[in-house]
Amino acid sequence: MYLHFFEKLNAWQESLDLVEAIYRETKNFPKRRNLG
């Protein structure tokens, strides 16, 4: 049972790392999309 808990915790941490990487890569994107 505890092993299953740690797998979830690891997956959670990896997903947070992915979100942080996406924010770093996209922080300089335009704030608005010019559709005109």
In this predicted structure, what is the pLDDT of residue 23? 95
Give me the residue label for tokens 């704030």: 31
Q: Say what the pTM is.
A: 0.59
Angle at the Cα of 22 (from 16 to 24), degrees rounded to 5?
105
Cα–Cα distance measured from residue 26 to residue 28, given in angstroms and rounded to the nearest whole number: 5
Summarize the confidence of residues 9-27 as an average pLDDT: 91
Q: Confidence band (pLDDT; 50, 70, 90) for 20?
A: very high
Per DSSP, 35 falls in state -
Half-sphere exposure of 5 (CA within 13 A, CB side): 2
* pLDDT number for residue 10: 85
